[in-house]
Amino acid sequence: MRGWFHERRSILAAAIVSRALVFGSAVVSHGLGWPHAPTVPLHIASTKRTLTYLGYWDGPWYRNIAEHGYLLVAGRQSNPAFFPLFPMLLRAVHGLGLSYLTDGLLLANAAFLLGILVFYELGRRIVSTEIARTAAIIAALFPMSYVFSMTYPESILLAALSLALLFAVDRRWSACALAGAVAALTRPEALFFALPLVVIAVEHERAAGRLERGRAIGAALAPLASLAAFPLYLGWTLHDVFAWNRAQQAWGRSFQLGGLARAFEQLNQPGQSPWLWRDAGFAVLFLALLAAAYLRGVPLVWVLAGAAVVVAPLASGTFISDARFGLLALPAYWGLALIARRAALRRGLFVVSAALLVGATMTLPVVNP
């Protein structure tokens, strides 16, 4: 155990320091009352509690599902737009007698710590140990990584997705199927990493017996089956298997063939929020880092899965929140680590990322992540 901790001490330190920066920034921002948050019903949580900033925006929607279940309101923003695993966990932990905000923060930050460690283990199988370590530290300090400490499901998806991919690389198919199914019930981005799962399973199929071959393919398809279960559940409870689609439309997300073109057109429309350009900038950054990862030897299938995480949401016609969605484009962190091989560049990157993380956290009252 001493050797295990010694090898991962820098990753654990980065995870702890980054969360301290996030929580500290939220406390300072709340104490100063700056920046002033607009009053938006349900999107903004109560401002009475010190860490309430970390429960803003979509956080109350997940709490609403945990408390009351799903309800589709035609033509209005409603909660079937959100996947079920995080509200299920919130409801389970709430039985301990804590508030929903505390429940969400505990779940998110515990999952983040697990996710960063598992992401490192996964990276060691794909790139060198040094690059895997740097990538895990970058993921912890990344400017948008404050989302992993919010009452959002991204940290749970990070952990479940990294576990599914790690188990696949290690040929542990039953565990891979379970982790992949969990990931797919967290957010739809998990679906895109079924691609490397399928490739790993097919490669394994050539050298395996019939039973092992079936387990590998079954594990690769588990996220698809899990994802399909959600609309079936909505059909059972709300009598509408398209409830998720209809809810997405009310949120201004309509997935169409011309969605990507509409996303770029939106950037040029007058009166758009400058924060839209933040999301567009991060989308470009993630794609550039994925290209760098590929050019430096990361297998194409991993890069394509990461690119799908960034590009697919744009088919809804907007760049909004793509900076958050791109956090799960895991090979992008390998790309940045491969660029920052020199020690001086790496240290500078860590410092700049940490500073930007503080600044980004303090924008929470005014901009949806």
Q: How far, CA to CA in Å, does 121 sit from each of 4, 46, 130, 159, 281?
A: 12, 39, 11, 11, 29
Instruction: Report whether pLDDT(283) > 90.
Output: yes
Q: Over the stretch 84-121, which tens digit does the pLDDT of each residue have?
A: 999 999 999 998 888 899 999 999 999 999 999 999 99
Place of tokens 């490669």: 203
Residues 221-249 have a mean pLDDT of 90
Output the six-digit token pair for 134.
């740097």
Question: Cα-flanking dihedrals φ and ψ of residue 258, to 5°?
Answer: -90, 15
Q: How far, CA to CA in Å, does 123 sit from each of 163, 165, 216?
A: 11, 10, 21
Question: Cα-flanking dihedrals φ and ψ of residue 123, to 5°?
Answer: -60, -35
Question: Cα-flanking dihedrals φ and ψ of residue 40, to 5°?
Answer: -125, 115
List the one residue out of 187, 131, 99, 146 whose CA is nearest residue 331: 131
Q: Where are the domains of the chain?
A: 2-261+276-361
Q: Over the stretch 197-213, which tens digit does the pLDDT of each residue have?
A: 888 877 766 666 666 77
**pTM metric for this prediction:** 0.93
pLDDT at 333: 98
3-state secondary structure the chain: CHHHHHHCHHHHHHHHHHHHHHHHHHHHHHHHCCCCCCCCCCCCCCCCCCCHHHHCCCHHHHHHHHHHCCCCCCCCCCHHHCCCHHHHHHHHHHCCCCCHHHHHHHHHHHHHHHHHHHHHHHHHHHCCHHHHHHHHHHHHHCHHHHHHHCCCCHHHHHHHHHHHHHHHHCCCHHHHHHHHHHHHCCCHHHHHHHHHHHHHHHHHHCCCCHHHHHHHHHHHHHHHHHHHHHHHHHHHHHCCCCHHHHHHHHCCCCCCCCHHHHHHHHHCCCCCCCHHHHHHHHHHHHHHHHHHHHHCCCCHHHHHHHHHHHHHHHHHCCCCCHHHHHHHCCHHHHHHHHHCCCHHHHHHHHHHHHHHHHHHHCCCCCCCC
Output the six-digit token pair for 88.
């299920």
Q: What separation, in Å, do the N-terminal and C-terminal C-alpha atoms of the chain show?
A: 37
Output the six-digit token pair for 92.
């389970």
Of residues 209 and 11, the one with the higher pLDDT is: 11
Instruction: Report whether pLDDT(337) > 50.
Output: yes
Of residues 2 and 326, the one with the higher pLDDT is: 326
Tell me the CB-side half-sphere exposure of residue 19, using CA atoms within 13 A: 18
State which of 57-61, 247-251, 351-355 shows the largest mean pLDDT.
351-355
Q: Over the stretch 128-157, which tens digit does the pLDDT of each residue have?
A: 999 999 999 999 999 999 999 999 999 999
Q: Over the stretch 292-310, which tens digit does the pLDDT of each residue have?
A: 999 999 999 999 999 999 9
CB count within 10 Å of CB 184 equals 29
* Contact assessment for residue 323 and residue 282, using Cβ atoms and an 8 Å cutoff: yes
Residues 260-275 have a mean pLDDT of 83
- 44 — pLDDT class (breaks 50, 70, 90): very low
Tell me the CB-side half-sphere exposure of residue 63, using CA atoms within 13 A: 22
pLDDT at 42: 46
The phi-psi region of residue 271 (left if phi > 0; otherwise alpha if psi is between -120 and 50; otherwise beta) is left
Residues 6+ apart with CB under 8 A from 291: 303, 335
Residues 160 and 145: their CA atoms lie apart, in Å, by 17
pLDDT at 47: 52
pLDDT at 365: 84
